[in-house]
Amino acid sequence: MLLRIFLLLTILTQTTLAFGQQQRLANTYHRDAFSLNGYWQYIVDPYENGYYNYRYEPFDQQSQPWASAFFLNSKPKDKTDLIEYDFDKMDSLSVPGDWNSQKENLFYYEGTVWYKKSFDFVKSDATNKVFLYFGAANYKAEVYFNGKKLGTHLGGFTPFQFEISELIKDQENHLILKVDNKRVKEGVPTLNTDWWNYGGITRAVKIIETPETFISKYLIQLAPNDHSIIKGNIQITGTQKANREVTIKIPELAIHQSMNTSDTGFGSFEISSSKIELWSPNTAKLYQVEIIAGKDTITDLIGFRTIKTKGTDILLNNKSIFLKGISIHEESPIRGGRANSMEDAEVLLGHAKSLGCNFVRLAHYPHNEHMIRAADKLGLLVWEEIPVYWTIAWDNEKTYANAQNQIAEVIERDRNRASVIIWSMANETPTSAARNVFLNKLAKFTRAKDNSRLISAALEQKNYKDDPFTRTISDPFAEVVDILSFNQYIGWYDGTIEKCQKINWKITQNKPVIISEFGAGAKFGLHGEKHERWTEEYQEYLYQETLKMLDQIEQLRGVSPWILMDFKSPRRVLPEIQDNFNRKGLISEKGEKKKAFFVLKEYYESKK
């Protein structure tokens, strides 16, 4: 009976932490941190022998796990002791990083890899809180610290954390992760995608120490209807959170204002200033903001702007704007593999700036925080999305909970970033009753979580009343979104390029339109006639004709062609052309600009 109770409590605890949903900590980016990046020992475990016993029962759900459980980091007590693994004698992987691009024998591997990091850590104050923070791990991460399971996180592109204040020791701590990137039908994304399934601890890992009472969340932004007012709210967590004095400072605006929190540690404020310089692509003004609550101080760089729609216009700071964009995958332009550094972000967004962009669509999942921070500084507007992609398990409640958690995690991470203007719910999802319920519920949740940004989704276009040359958007989710966005590949998947000259558009919704994808594959350096597939001339011609066609759409307020750079995809197997790369990039994976790059650049120069 006691064993059954123990197992039930264990399962309930793991369910509660299914997505790593402990108290999230605001602004881990600018907090002092102890980095756990570097080399970690690893064990490849395709049969998951370190997780299950021979009867396929999880070790971490047993009252006395066998020493064979990898998360225990067991060592033989004497020469008779049987231990069939030893992390300390294993090879290493660099963290952050994916295993596919680091180890040739793991190039196609999908499954479980165990990671182990040993370290010492001494608190600066015995009463302080200590948090273990992960930028992301793909896809399912089981996290163990000093032999105790902290929880499970699902989703390969959003941050998660656990408090380890009572578990951490001054010496000989060991952190072990079971990371599993197997694709699953009920996952987000599901089984079928068009990008490389990079496995591993793909973003930074760090330890963050805070006072016992600390700033756990804050939102600071421009009032939507008054550009002279900065408003926001702050959440304090800890035993002394009630009636806590909190001070907000913005030195450049001579702002120094204090308030007191409620019994729950929550406080809100409004501050007037006639000197606020608005953030925009032309003037990416960021202010240093300081928040002080007792012993805890947070600093951040925040831009102030508003975003909304009016009829068919997108209004940035109450002025109409045309979004000159490009779609981007999170693949390193420097070394290949999953991008994870500020250098990666600066190269990718630098290419977008050289193209003439004021906008980027970060597809098809939340990118690392470096990208958003760099976009803030460079003045690039950002579309962020979660991987509700193609054929999600719409009727599965756990799938929905996973998607909702992913949008919640990225909103909480990026809620103070001026660059982020669009939360996207999905990409190219087929219409059905279950799908509509799923997306409507997700959009409603997102608006409740953050009503200061716009909602969209990359939809699909269809023939209007069976006319093959008139296109429309008949998706019921088009009535929910703020911006009507859709993908179209006329001239690549849909007929020849000349078909662009015959297409008309019948858009019935009174909303701004963004063409979220169009494009064609071309291998850099392959030249030929403009009607010859895979040549730079074909891609160039398609861009020329597509842009003429899209300019016929009266509500057109932006485009984000597919895609900035060639990227890895196991779907793309054509020898000597694709070689496991999606070739729709305007730039090759080596940084070489194709002819279509300059067509789009010239088009953007004409859009003042």
In 10 A of CB 377, how many CB atoms?
A: 15
Rounded Cα–Cα distance for residues 136 and 126 (Å): 29
DSSP sequence for 233-247 = EEEEESTT-TT-EEE
Rounded Cα–Cα distance for residues 286 and 350 (Å): 19
The CA–CA distances, whole Å, from 461 to 80, 423, 560 equal 68, 20, 16
Domain limit, last residue, from 272, 304, 336: 304
Asked if 218 and 240 sit in the same domain, the reply is yes
The pLDDT, as a whole number, for residue 68 is: 87
The pLDDT, as a whole number, for residue 62 is: 87
In this prediction, the residues of the chain whose per-residue pLDDT falls under 50 are 1-16, 21
Asked if 39 and 86 sit in the same domain, the reply is yes
Q: What is the pLDDT of residues 551-563, one digit of tens each?
A: 999 999 999 999 9
**Helices and strands in the chain, H and E counts:** 8, 33
Length of the chain: 608
Note down the domain range covering 458. 308-606
Q: Give all strands of the β-sheet with 205-210 in edge-to-edge order.
A: 34-35, 205-210, 129-134, 160-163
Rounded Cα–Cα distance for residues 107 and 579 (Å): 14
Asked if 153 and 285 sit in the same domain, the reply is no
Domain of 568: which CATH number? 3.20.20.80
The residue to which tokens 């719409």 are assigned: 394
Domain limit, last residue, from 210, 228, 260: 210
> Could you give phi then psi for residue 490, rounded to 5 degrees?
-65, 130
Asked if 484 and 527 sit in the same domain, the reply is yes
Rounded Cα–Cα distance for residues 589 and 602 (Å): 22
Asked if 224 and 331 sit in the same domain, the reply is no
Asked if 117 and 235 sit in the same domain, the reply is no
Cα–chain-centroid distance for residue 448?
Answer: 19
The residue to which tokens 């592109």 are assigned: 157
Rounded Cα–Cα distance for residues 128 and 211 (Å): 5
Asked if 239 and 349 sit in the same domain, the reply is no
One-letter amino acid at 45 equals D
Asked if 277 and 337 sit in the same domain, the reply is no
Asked if 267 and 405 sit in the same domain, the reply is no
Asked if 366 and 403 sit in the same domain, the reply is yes
- In what helix (H) or strand (E) does residue 343 lie, and over which residues does it extend? helix 342-355
Domain limit, last residue, from 286, 304, 322: 304
Rounded Cα–Cα distance for residues 223 and 315 (Å): 15
Number of domains in the chain: 3
Cα–chain-centroid distance for residue 327?
Answer: 14
The pLDDT, as a whole number, for residue 191 is: 96
Asked if 295 and 202 sit in the same domain, the reply is no
The pLDDT, as a whole number, for residue 66 is: 80
Q: What is the pLDDT of residues 388-408, one digit of tens each?
A: 999 999 999 999 999 999 999
Domain of 263: which CATH number? 2.60.40.10
Q: What is the pLDDT of residues 90-116, one digit of tens each?
A: 999 999 999 999 999 999 999 999 999
Q: How many CA atoms lie within 13 A of 500 on its CB side?
A: 24
Asked if 313 and 190 sit in the same domain, the reply is no
The pLDDT, as a whole number, for residue 23 is: 63
Domain of 63: which CATH number? 2.60.120.260
